[in-house]
Structure 1
Amino acid sequence: MTGLRALTPRGRSFLASGVAALACAFLFGEHDLLRVAVLIIALPLLAAMVVARTRYRLSCARRLSPARVEVGSDSTVTLRLENVTRLPTGLLLIEDTLQFALGARPRFVLDRVEPRGVREIDYKVRSDLRGRFSIGPLSIRITDPFGLVELARSFTISDTLVVIPEVVALPHVRLSGEWSGGGESRTRSVAAAGDDDVAPREYRHGDDLRRVHWRSTARYGELMVRREEQQWQSRGALLLDTRKSAHRGEGPRSSFETAVSAAASIGVHLAREGLGLRLVTDLGPQHLTDDGLSHSLLDALAVVRQSPARSLDAGVGALRQGGGDGLIVAVLGALGEADARALARLRHGSVTGVAVLLDVATWQSRDGEEESYEAARTILAGAGWRIVRLPAGTSLASVWPDAARSRAQTRSYTLTGGAA
């Protein structure tokens, strides 16, 4: 019955013609017409049986290379179809399911797949928008050589392509930060001057016996081992301003997309230099998985969207509660004086603050935005923040060295005619 429901208009025409010829053969007693009627009826029925027999005899696999790409870059999708039966397939019409942002649905035709045969098909996808995009499931229409039957089959598997923001390589800039124990990026020797300076601890099950410190063992009356290395890691926070009211422009060239790309570039750059980083937006802290800091950060930024928040209070509160951040990098849109003062209070003691201020007036100017930018810049610089101005059409790499300049250096650089 499944095969009969899959008859094409041609197949139904054959079947109707055969039934009419059969009726005429009985009516007029024409034996030759009877044989022709049986042949015409049998042809679509046999085709339906053959096609229905091969319905669940195909296996499919899909591979994305790479599965994580930057905006505007290509990813190759490889489809692998295998005929797992001892019968050859008929004509296969293949169509993969894509979301609109990845382009039109790819369609292919396979003439015949031999028994146990394998076919691989490649096609490319590209997106100018960030996000997580589902690819699949694959649908196949199986037809017979005469085009009498067309049976549709849809696989269940699908894959996800992650389109991350554009990442710009940044020059090395010396940014001081606070070192805290418990990380995995660097090591510091506790015993630096000799055996007397070793900081021993009690023996724990599984410790290497070669690390036993016999002098301390004799002194304390219990087995002690050398604690020669302790893991240390510099910690920092990355604040991204996602407020819709703080950004201008639309599409991939908007100030918001520029801010997301800047946050991605800075986060990857700092992670490669061994900084333990956490991501915070105006809505609060963002969860990062354990799949490597760079990949986790980029995956989070791939799906970040503009928020309806009107202030940075939640983000500032998350930064204040986190504590222990030796470095705070804030990527900011249009900033009011209240938010600027709240951010300014985060920089104290040995904390290094870097503010990447997007000059949103260069995207779309509104009354008073130039004055608002200068006021926010003055407040942050007065609190010791290092200011990096990022106007429209300017690469972050060209202005990132400003992050190394202190307040006095920035002021001197500005007075001599440089870009601040």
Structure 2
Amino acid sequence: MSRWPLTPRGTGAIVLALASFVLAPVLGVPALVFFGVLLVAAVALSFASLWLGHRADGVRRSFAPPVASVGADVDVRVRVESRSVLPTVVGTWRDRLPRGIDGEPTGVYPALRSGLASGSHRVDIAYRVRARRRGVRPVGPLVVETTDPFGLSRRRQELGSAVPLTIAPAVAPLDMFDDLPGAAGGTMQSVTDKLGQGADNLIPRAYAPGDSMRRIHWRASAHRGELMVRQEERESNPEAVIVFDRAVARWSADALRSPGEDPDFEAALSIVVSAAARFVREGYGVAVVDVDGTELVPPIDGGDSAALESMTTAFATLTARREGALTELAPLFAGATVGPVVVVTGEVDPADAASLAPIVGHSSMPVLFTLGGAGDALRIARESGWRVQRLEPEDELESLWSGVEGFRGRVG
């Protein structure tokens, strides 16, 4: 939209008025001066009709859903309370969209009657966009362009302010594996999983074989160098642990700077949240941690959809971090008997694969999602017992998950 306040018709009127002033003495026609003055007056009045007594009393914007997922459609609604002393003609509107949101937010802005008789006017605008990149993206302000009834001048207004739209990672409806305890609703648990439960202390204590993985105090474990458990009530649900390796060395620098910029990191994060959602729906308690044991979100109980939604919303702004190594992970599982362990990381080397090997003996189902492996890294991981799956940004998550050995193939 042009910032020049006159339409082509109004611009032509001013040019013609100036020409009249110049030609009047040359041609000896005084009436041309009068004609030029009329043109200038007409343009001035049209300009004043737009800028005097016209205002927007309020702009409200809403999104449905309020938190979008990557790849999902979002309905945007804008309500403008407007007041005008003089009537206006039909104009146009355009909403500003940030990078990462696709759409064509333009349309016709309706004519307004004089507010002297009818008071304020309510204008409702609705359109649909698609969320393409994760993050918190500002939408707006609304830009409205109106013209006077004679089409000589125009006014460009920015109504309201930008409102942030939260775009969370994409969550795919994954199926479940067929050889997990608790796969049928997450209520089954082996005797080994129950050993050690019920020993409640007031402070974190050392892990005892059979303690629930959800009782592990990951930060205390990282500081002490051994597995520590927190005080909690007795638990009987099976547990799953999802490890997301956020070290920037595994991803590009874009993953550290801003959410939604590194396709590899985004694909990995989608696997993390999708796997967590699948386990929670099956009844598993889920812990989502970094390689050093830091909890990325509070532990989620089986079937707790509200906590699951909070996790995906929190991950809208998750980025990589500067430090972290897979070698820090195995000691956290020493002496523990756990359920499924899903590790999501970038490219691994043989040393990384070897450092993960000790975890296999402590998990009912170890799964490794990786961008790739240098040398014999993937072979070493498979031979040590990991179910390895290559992670590609363009992959469909459902097929990627189903490609892991042990997939049952039923719809969840």
Same fold (TM over 0.5): yes
Q: CA deviation at 1:269?
A: 1.3
How many residues align? The count is 338
| Alignment pair present for 1:299 and 2:313 | yes
Among 377, 388, 398, the alignment partner of 2:402 is 398
Equivalent residues in 2 for 1:225-244, closer than 5 Å: 236-243=240-247
The residue number in structure 2 matching 1:14 is 13
Task: Tell whether the 8 Å contact from 1:135 to 1:161 is kept in structure 2 after alignment.
Answer: no
Q: CA deviation at 1:24?
A: 7.7
Q: Tell me the distance in 2 between the aligned counterparts of 1:147 and 1:81.
A: 23
The residue number in structure 2 matching 1:311 is 325
Relative distance call for 1:284 and 1:165 in structure 2 (3 A) is farther
Task: Tell whether the 8 Å contact from 2:100 to 2:134 is kept in structure 1 after alignment.
Answer: no
| Alignment pair present for 1:151 and 2:191 | no
Partner letter of residue 329 of structure 1? V
Tell me, what secondary structure is at the counterpart of 1:395? helix
Q: Deviations over 1:70-91 (max 9, x none)?
A: 4333222223333345653334
Among 333, 336, 345, the alignment partner of 2:349 is 336
Tell me, what secondary structure is at the counterpart of 2:277? helix
Among 341, 349, 356, the alignment partner of 2:368 is 356
Partner letter of residue 167 of structure 1? A
Tell me, what secondary structure is at the counterpart of 2:325? coil
Q: Tell me the distance in 1 between the aligned counterparts of 2:288 and 2:167.
A: 19
Task: Tell whether the 8 Å contact from 1:72 to 1:128 is kept in structure 2 after alignment.
Answer: yes
Task: Tell whether the 8 Å contact from 1:337 to 1:372 is kept in structure 2 after alignment.
Answer: yes
Q: Tell me the distance in 2 between the aligned counterparts of 1:352 and 1:141.
A: 63
Tell me, what secondary structure is at the counterpart of 2:173? coil
| Alignment pair present for 1:271 and 2:271 | no
The residue number in structure 1 matching 2:145 is 141
Q: CA deviation at 1:12?
A: 5.1
Task: Tell whether the 8 Å contact from 2:90 to 2:147 is kept in structure 1 after alignment.
Answer: yes
Unaligned runs of 5+ in 1: 182-228, 405-420
| Alignment pair present for 1:374 and 2:379 | yes
Relative distance call for 1:359 and 1:16 in structure 2 (3 A) is closer
Task: Tell whether the 8 Å contact from 2:138 to 2:165 is kept in structure 1 after alignment.
Answer: yes
Equivalent residues in 2 for 1:18-417, closer than 5 Å: 18=17, 21=20, 36-57=35-56, 59-85=58-84, 87-103=86-102, 106-114=105-113, 115=115, 116-154=120-158, 155-171=160-176, 174-175=180-181, 236-243=240-247, 246=250, 256-282=265-291, 285=294, 287-288=296-297, 292-305=306-319, 311-313=325-327, 328-346=341-359, 352=364, 354-358=366-370, 360=372, 368=375, 371-379=376-384, 381=385, 387=387, 389=389, 395-399=399-403, 402=406
Task: Tell whether the 8 Å contact from 1:388 to 1:402 is kept in structure 2 after alignment.
Answer: no
Q: CA deviation at 1:267?
A: 0.7
Task: Tell whether the 8 Å contact from 2:76 to 2:127 is kept in structure 1 after alignment.
Answer: yes
Partner letter of residue 355 of structure 1? V
Q: CA deviation at 1:13?
A: 4.9
Partner letter of residue 13 of structure 2? F
Task: Tell whether the 8 Å contact from 2:88 to 2:149 is kept in structure 1 after alignment.
Answer: no
Task: Tell whether the 8 Å contact from 1:142 to 1:152 is kept in structure 2 after alignment.
Answer: yes
Q: Percent identity?
A: 23
Looking at CA atoms only, which structure, 1 or 2, has the larger radius of gyration? 1
Q: Deviations over 1:4-59 (max 9, x none)?
A: 98345653553464466578879999786565344322212111221112542353
Tell me, what secondary structure is at the counterpart of 2:270? helix
Task: Tell whether the 8 Å contact from 2:251 to 2:264 is kept in structure 1 after alignment.
Answer: yes
Task: Tell whether the 8 Å contact from 2:109 to 2:144 is kept in structure 1 after alignment.
Answer: no
Q: Hey, which of these two has a bigger chunk of helix by percent?
A: 1
Return 143-152 or 287-296, whichever deviates more: 287-296
Q: Deviations over 1:256-315 (max 9, x none)?
A: 544333212111112233444332234763543899322233234444455665732466
Q: Tell me the distance in 2 between the aligned counterparts of 1:315 and 1:94.
A: 54
Relative distance call for 1:389 and 1:101 in structure 2 (3 A) is closer
Relative distance call for 1:9 and 1:399 in structure 2 (3 A) is closer
Task: Tell whether the 8 Å contact from 2:345 to 2:370 is kept in structure 1 after alignment.
Answer: yes
Q: CA deviation at 1:353?
A: 5.3
Relative distance call for 1:160 and 1:128 in structure 2 (3 A) is closer
TM-score, normalised on structure 2? 0.63
Tell me, what secondary structure is at the counterpart of 2:272? helix
Partner letter of residue 272 of structure 1? R
Partner letter of residue 379 of structure 2? E
Relative distance call for 1:162 and 1:137 in structure 2 (3 A) is same
Q: Tell me the distance in 2 between the aligned counterparts of 1:27 and 1:247.
A: 75
Partner letter of residue 309 of structure 2? H
The residue number in structure 2 matching 1:209 is none
Q: Tell me the distance in 1 between the aligned counterparts of 2:10 and 2:311.
A: 55
